């Protein structure tokens, strides 16, 4: 590989980082670093959590996506330090000197300062998070089937989703479908239609960034699926198997966290200006103030949209557009020489409007902030948009097939509990026993 070419280092292969690599065309070496070997299609993660898709259907190896980019190298490793002054990135196995840096390390689940809640309320940010939620729900219903104590059975069959944003709404909707409709044929002793799904929203309405009438439609569609939607219901305290909502205590073995995201913790050690939630405040061109050769894109960036003057939201389309913007910008500089940040083009976000699904054939969408859609037509729109954006042919075809099949038959193809999931389940139970809630332990003996 030509060592004398400029070197671009990209940290993270989420939507922003991967789009950068795909759109970047210039005589330069590119090194992309990610701690995973795969790119994850996060908007469908809730489908893995609720056994609608299998994990490999929404993930694709980064090496495969970039195999044809001969000047691009993929390293699976963790970033331990970034020295913006020395233009050097340290990994656990090596250091990388760069001419241009693209920080696209994304975010982590945010428990609003209550780290201890992470033990009891499962977040949804990685494939492992999704598999953990799936095993929790599947194992709970398996345990409910043989549980003779009615109170314990109710606790096992109750799912509480905290947070009424898009993630919480999607999770609650598919959980209701899975437990109340898909499971219906499978169990003999319990009645899955007695399963309870509660969605908790601290504010006065779910989907608070949507117009009030769409929030209302979303709420009605969730209720049609059997979800209890509690608004003005902040979770004050979470412990093992219990959520305290002011005076009310919800007992549940399946507490899911649909709350917020903050920037990956590494940003705190950069020595640059950070915004709320640790995001890196960028110049209009997405470069980092004082470091014109370093950029922040995606969920890790606090950027202003030059079009609207509003902060760019933390959604996949915005991340992809930021990646593309910086790819073009750096390519132009490499070809035509550097320019100061204020002479570079500012990032303009093309916002097609928000959309969220609510289960099998329901959704709400606000196309270009003009056309409001809800119900089946909104769901079809959502389906088409997501299929178009899915990266890699294989996934697109298989996901379509899975969805069609699930839609026609109401079966769930991915309701598989791995043995190590059971191990995790046992660990959970051990934890709960520490908390002095009596659930009988299971032995690990054969068959």
Q: Establish if 76 lies at the interface with its own copies (CB under 8 A).
A: yes
Q: Which stretch binds its own copies (CB under 8 A): 181-189, 239-247, 285-293, 315-323?
A: 181-189
Nearer to its own copies, 305 or 402 (CB): 402
Q: Establish if 407 lies at the interface with its own copies (CB under 8 A).
A: no
By CB under 8 A, name the one of 5, 6, 22, 55 that touches its own copies.
55
Q: Establish if 299 lies at the interface with its own copies (CB under 8 A).
A: no
Q: Establish if 34 lies at the interface with its own copies (CB under 8 A).
A: yes
By CB under 8 A, name the one of 339, 417, 433, 437 that touches its own copies.
417
Q: Cβ of residue 132: shortest distance to its own copies, in angstroms?
A: 9
Q: Establish if 391 lies at the interface with its own copies (CB under 8 A).
A: no
Q: Cβ of residue 200: shortest distance to its own copies, in angstroms?
A: 28
By CB under 8 A, name the one of 84, 266, 275, 387 that touches its own copies.
266
At residue 307, the 3 state secondary structure works out as coil
For every residue of 118-137, which 3-state class applies, written as one string? HHCCECCCCHHHHHHHHHHH
Calpha distance 66→78 (Å, rounded): 19
Calpha distance 147→189 (Å, rounded): 9
Q: Establish if 22 lies at the interface with its own copies (CB under 8 A).
A: no
DSSP 325-360: HHHHHHHHHHHH----GGGSPPP-------EEE-SS
Nearer to its own copies, 37 or 433 (CB): 37
Which candidate, 185, 163, 210, places its Cα nearest to that of 411? Answer: 185
Nearer to its own copies, 266 or 437 (CB): 266
Catalytic residue among 57, 142, 145, 170: 170
Q: Which stretch binds its own copies (CB under 8 A): 170-178, 351-359, 379-387, 419-427?
A: 419-427
Strands (E), 110-259: 158-162, 196-200, 227-230, 237-239, 242-245, 248-251, 254-257
At residue 243, the 3 state secondary structure works out as strand
Q: Establish if 79 lies at the interface with its own copies (CB under 8 A).
A: yes
By CB under 8 A, name the one of 420, 427, 430, 435 that touches its own copies.
420
Q: Which stretch binds its own copies (CB under 8 A): 157-165, 194-202, 234-242, 400-408?
A: 400-408
What six digits make up the tokens of 46? 């809730």
Q: Which stretch binds its own copies (CB under 8 A): 69-77, 165-173, 237-245, 361-369?
A: 69-77
| Torsion angle defined by CA atoms of residues 161, 163, 169 and 170, in that order, rounded to the nearest 10 degrees | -70
Per-residue contact track with its own copies, 216 to 245, x per CB under 8 A? ------------------------------
Calpha distance 325→436 (Å, rounded): 54
In degrees rounded to 5, what are phi and psi of residue 319? -60, -45
Q: Establish if 63 lies at the interface with its own copies (CB under 8 A).
A: yes
Q: Which stretch binds its own copies (CB under 8 A): 182-190, 205-213, 241-249, 252-260?
A: 182-190
Footprint on residues 84-143 left by its own copies (CB under 8 A): 92-94, 105-106, 108, 126-128, 131, 138, 142
Q: Which stretch binds its own copies (CB under 8 A): 169-177, 309-317, 374-382, 409-417?
A: 409-417
* 170 has catalytic annotation: yes
What six digits make up the tokens of 173? 């909707």
- Core vs surface per residue 346-357: b (16+ CB within 10 A) or e: bbebebeebbbb
Q: Cβ of residue 170: shortest distance to its own copies, in angstroms?
A: 21
User: How many chain residues bind its own copies (CB under 8 A)?
Assistant: 75
Q: Establish if 413 lies at the interface with its own copies (CB under 8 A).
A: yes
Cα angle: 72, vertex 75, 77; to 5 degrees: 155
Q: Establish if 251 lies at the interface with its own copies (CB under 8 A).
A: no
Identify the bridge partners of residue 238 per DSSP, sorted by sequence position. 243
Give the ranges where 353-437 is alpha helix by DSSP (H).
376-389, 393-409, 419-434
Calpha distance 406→28 (Å, rounded): 45
Q: Establish if 146 lies at the interface with its own copies (CB under 8 A).
A: yes
Active site residues: 170
């Amino acid at each position: 590989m030509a060592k004398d070419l400029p070197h671009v280092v990209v940290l993270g292969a989420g939507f922003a980082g991967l789009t950068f690599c795909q759109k970047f065309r210039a005589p330069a070496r590119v090194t992309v670093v990610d701690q995973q070997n795969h790119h994850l299609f996060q908007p469908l993660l809730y489908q893995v959590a609720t056994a609608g898709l299998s994990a490999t259907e929404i993930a694709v190896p980064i090496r495969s996506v970039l195999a044809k980019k001969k000047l691009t190298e993929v390293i699976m490793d963790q970033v331990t330090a970034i020295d913006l002054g020395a233009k050097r990135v340290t990994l656990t196995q090596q250091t990388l000197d760069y001419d241009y840096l693209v920080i696209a390390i994304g975010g982590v689940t945010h428990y609003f300062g209550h780290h201890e809640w992470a033990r009891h309320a499962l977040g949804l940010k990685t494939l492992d998070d999704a598999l953990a939620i799936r095993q929790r729900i599947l194992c709970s219903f398996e345990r409910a089937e043989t549980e003779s104590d009615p109170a314990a059975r109710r606790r096992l069959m109750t799912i509480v989703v905290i947070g009424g944003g898009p993630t919480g709404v999607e999770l609650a909707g598919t959980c209701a479908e899975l437990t109340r409709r898909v499971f219906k044929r499978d169990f003999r002793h319990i009645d899955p239609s007695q399963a309870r799904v509660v969605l908790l929203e601290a504010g006065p309405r779910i989907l608070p960034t949507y117009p009030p009438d769409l929030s209302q439609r979303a709420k009605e569609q969730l209720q049609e699926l059997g979800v209890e939607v509690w608004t003005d219901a902040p979770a004050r305290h979470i412990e093992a198997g219990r959520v305290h909502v002011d005076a009310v205590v919800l007992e549940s073995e399946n507490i899911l966290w649909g709350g917020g995201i903050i920037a990956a913790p590494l940003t705190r050690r950069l020595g640059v200006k950070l915004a709320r939630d640790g995001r890196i405040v960028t110049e209009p061109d997405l470069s980092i103030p004082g470091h014109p050769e370093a950029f922040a894109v995606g969920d890790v960036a606090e950027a202003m949209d030059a079009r609207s003057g509003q902060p760019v939201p933390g959604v996949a389309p915005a991340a992809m557009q930021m990646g593309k913007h910086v790819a073009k910008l750096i390519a132009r500089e490499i070809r035509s020489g550097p320019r100061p940040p204020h002479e570079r083009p500012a990032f303009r976000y093309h916002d097609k409007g928000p959309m969220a699904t609510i289960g099998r054939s329901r959704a709400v969408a606000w196309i270009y902030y003009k056309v409001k859609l809800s119900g089946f037509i909104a769901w079809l729109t959502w389906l088409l948009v997501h299929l178009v954006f899915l990266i890699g042919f294989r996934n697109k075809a298989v996901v379509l097939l899975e969805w069609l099949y699930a839609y026609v038959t109401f079966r769930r193809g991915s309701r598989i509990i791995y043995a190590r999931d059971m191990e995790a389940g046992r660990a959970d139970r051990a934890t709960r026993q520490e908390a002095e809630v009596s659930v009988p332990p299971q032995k690990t003996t054969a068959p």
